Structure 1
């Protein structure tokens, strides 16, 4: 997702199929090896061949302790520009990231990459969390969202339901953890969860998810903007108002209609994700 606070990219490369999570226009060249995002912001690119015997992954901040072995490349920090990456032992998967803070005073965005084996099957989770009003919501999602999801009792049997319920429960838990503060941080979330040959792409907010196939970009999500007809109807039915204030905003304040956090607008700004399921057969 691209915003004004930082530029962060995570790239996982194996084949000609990829999933890109971003918030601004992304220009794809003939292959998905090169990613351009205009301006400062945050971008996530996930790319691999869809195979049921996927050999993955990485964990945020360290080589994965569960699942296939990966080699971690040394992280470099050059005057605030941070980059690093991993590569699987069999060479079929590589993952890299880079980030720098943009014009804002502090970094408000986070990402998370995790892998685990559940019932003998490798599962892989990728996410980007674009904070606004502060970094606390994005940091909370990095720390808790995937951990809660993997512990959901129906994660392996009904992954789509598990993602939807976990998103909304994590939102409630974050708001509860912030009940004694005067802050009102919020965050979008774009996640891609691979279970077997099923890829579940979930979005809350104005992040964008695109699947790249042989260099062709195919959208998998639609921005949650207040002026989207169904979103506007939902907000107004709940007693809210959509106003123009430089752009369309909920209550004249927030330029997205779904988000984690944002306690003061929670009645109208929900954390229910829209989820797309991509199967091996169509990729």
Structure 2
């Protein structure tokens, strides 16, 4: 897949062996009247339909049963450090681009979901990193979207909300408007 090729290209481009850079990836593609969402890591997508938040992706966390089993079967370990679950005591997600030393366990194979049909009740699509989702709940997004009609303004306000709540991670947010 494209995600696996991107991961291989990324690892090849980072020639310094001690670099442990990595990243999540989240993509939404509209094909006809269907939205397909592919994700690797803990960035997340939701759709706002009829005033409700519909999850369009699942976070890849190492404590989830299927992810933990996959990691352990590949020879890795999953542990809790008192704050979060980690792969080999290092990474708080079970899938990602990069992370060379964990590559046997932290894969870049995406989950692809066809969850949403574009219909008259689809209002917005929100894609964001865990820097937002760690401190902003779906209900907060719904409330904010009721107060603004502009996707760009909403993305900025959601990012500012996460920052004001002292998010400890990077924050990226994209809001796409549909029928509203």
TM-score, shorter chain, exceeding 0.5:
yes
CA apart distance, 1:215: 1.9
Q: CA–CA distance in 2 between the matches of 1:255 and 1:209? A: 19
Question: Is the aligned partner of 1:199 residue 2:39?
Answer: no
Offset of residue 180 of structure 1: 3.5
Alignment match, 2:47: 211
Offset at 1:211? 1.1
Q: How does 1:72-151 map to 2 (within 5 A)?
A: none
Spell out, residue by residue over 1:99-139, the C-alpha distance to the aligned partner (whole angstroms, 9 max, x if none). Answer: xxxxxxxxxxxxxxxxxxxxxxxxxxxxxxxxxxxxxxxxx
CA distance in 1, matches of 2:92, 2:84: 7
Does 2:88 align with 1:251? yes
- Tell me whether 1:242 sits opposite 2:57 in the alignment: no
| Alignment partner, residue 279 of structure 1 | 117
Q: Which has the higher helix share?
A: 2
TM-score with structure 2 setting the length? 0.62
CA–CA separation in structure 1 for the residues paired with 2:12 and 2:55: 34
- Paired positions, count: 119
1:212 offset after TM fit, Å? 0.7
Q: Deviations over 1:2-45 (max 9, x none)?
A: xxxxxxxxxxxxxxxxxxxxxxxxxxxxxxxxxxxxxxxxxxxx
Deviation (angstroms), 1:244: 1.2
RMSD: 1.7
- Please list every run of 5 or more consecutive structure 1 residues that lacks an aligned counterpart in the other structure: 1-164
Q: Residue 270 of structure 1: SS of its match in structure 2?
A: coil
How far off its partner does 1:207 sit? 1.4
Query: Does structure 1 residue 226 correspond to structure 2 residue 62?
Result: yes
Larger CA Rg, structure 1 vs 2: 1
Q: Tell me how far 1:198 sits from its aligned partner.
A: 2.3
